[in-house]
Structure 1
């Protein structure tokens, strides 16, 4: 089994996030991240913040809450300390037009301890990877057996040049695909395989011998896939 893309939920999450953020010339990170979380039908969405950030960062958080609403999932925001938690609550209430709108579930503490309480993460967003807090969040995360989508936000081009997902999540996690998107201040996105696909050896399909004949030279080539 693996994560299944749900275009209907992606569209609903995207449109509601656009309504929340307001119309702009082109979609930004909040709309894209919300659509991705909703489209993958994420059941445990986790975001980690080392700083509160500006309006765009808070809109991303609101977009994840919108996606969780449409997917019927749980949205958790983890923060380093109580001061960050208080600032986050105040900023989110000031950003939202609806003061009674429920806030995401919040957890405060060290990543090593918090990740033990969050089993089956299938959508993880960290606000920057250059700091130690962000690295530890990725490193100690316990992902869903179906796989997961990981996003590192606000990383500079310089960061992208050295960043390697396998070095952050560990060799036991199989990164199927990763890409850098020039949206907002930059998004580094990775899709990791579920445990069943890794253990069964079906991620890349069974190995087999393939015979190929070059039509121009007539040479025959045999290689293993």
Structure 2
């Protein structure tokens, strides 16, 4: 099994997030993240948040998990952050979330099968440590670091060094949205996902202009 993209679910979450976040006038991060979480049909979404942080992305994640019938868990460092988060989410009309108070590294130890993880790069948190203790889902996972900087070159975030061989990176990208989004999609694990040396596979490609289908052996 692996994460499978659903354009229809992604579109629904995107539109609902646009409607819910229109008063925040932020830079599209919430809509993009919501569409990604819903489109990948994620079942366990985890985010880190602290007092003074933007709430729009959290609203988007709550909307996404409503569409996927998944869990949305927010990890906050203290009771003051919890109170502010609950107040902001209540004012937005969102109730589809859970809160864990404590350090992110400790909270991750008790969560199994995370398939969508959103971290805020503001502050001095050790993001590498958070990811290394996170128990990602066997279907794969999407990892997002928001407020990552103005460019990938300026970001200290390096997925390959952070994951350190823990998971196979399918693709990674830096998007200049908001204060920068650093995104990585890691592949499914276990279940015969690896091929032996010398084995081949068939890959199907469709020419979107002609509609012709090609099957290539690789």
Going from structure 1 to structure 2, the CA distance change for 1:168 and 1:73 (only over 3 Å counts) comes to: same
Going from structure 1 to structure 2, the CA distance change for 1:118 and 1:25 (only over 3 Å counts) comes to: closer
2:167 to 170, 173, 184: 173
Match of 2:135 in 1: 142
Going from structure 1 to structure 2, the CA distance change for 1:12 and 1:146 (only over 3 Å counts) comes to: same
Question: Is 2:151–2:180's contact at 8 Å kept on the other side of the alignment?
Answer: no
CA distance in 2: counterparts of 1:22 and 1:118, whole angstroms:
32
SS of match in other structure, 2:179: coil
Question: Is 1:166–1:173's contact at 8 Å kept on the other side of the alignment?
Answer: no
Question: Is 1:47–1:76's contact at 8 Å kept on the other side of the alignment?
Answer: yes
2:190 to 181, 191, 196: 196
SS of match in other structure, 1:157: coil
SS of match in other structure, 1:176: strand
Match of 2:79 in 1: 82
Query: 1:111, CA displacement in angstroms?
Result: 2.6
2:56 to 56, 59, 64: 59
Question: Is 2:48–2:120's contact at 8 Å kept on the other side of the alignment?
Answer: yes
Going from structure 1 to structure 2, the CA distance change for 1:84 and 1:26 (only over 3 Å counts) comes to: closer
Query: 1:195, CA displacement in angstroms?
Result: 0.7
* RMSD after superposition: 2.8
Question: Is 2:152–2:174's contact at 8 Å kept on the other side of the alignment?
Answer: no
1:71 to 68, 71, 85: 68
Query: 1:102, CA displacement in angstroms?
Result: 1.5
SS of match in other structure, 1:46: strand
CA distance in 2: counterparts of 1:109 and 1:127, whole angstroms:
15
SS of match in other structure, 1:195: coil
Match of 1:153 in 2: 146
Higher helix proportion (structure 1 or 2): 1
Question: Is 1:122–1:144's contact at 8 Å kept on the other side of the alignment?
Answer: yes
Are 2:61 and 1:104 aligned?
no
Higher-Rg member (1/2): 1
CA distance in 2: counterparts of 1:89 and 1:107, whole angstroms:
12
Going from structure 1 to structure 2, the CA distance change for 1:126 and 1:170 (only over 3 Å counts) comes to: same
Going from structure 1 to structure 2, the CA distance change for 1:25 and 1:137 (only over 3 Å counts) comes to: closer
Match of 1:212 in 2: none
Match of 2:46 in 1: 46
Structure 2 residue runs of 5 or longer lacking an equivalent are 202-217
Structure 1 residue runs of 5 or longer lacking an equivalent are 209-224
Q: Which moved more, 1:73-82 or 1:103-112?
A: 103-112
The total of aligned residue pairs comes to: 201
CA distance in 2: counterparts of 1:8 and 1:176, whole angstroms:
23
Query: 1:75, CA displacement in angstroms?
Result: 0.3
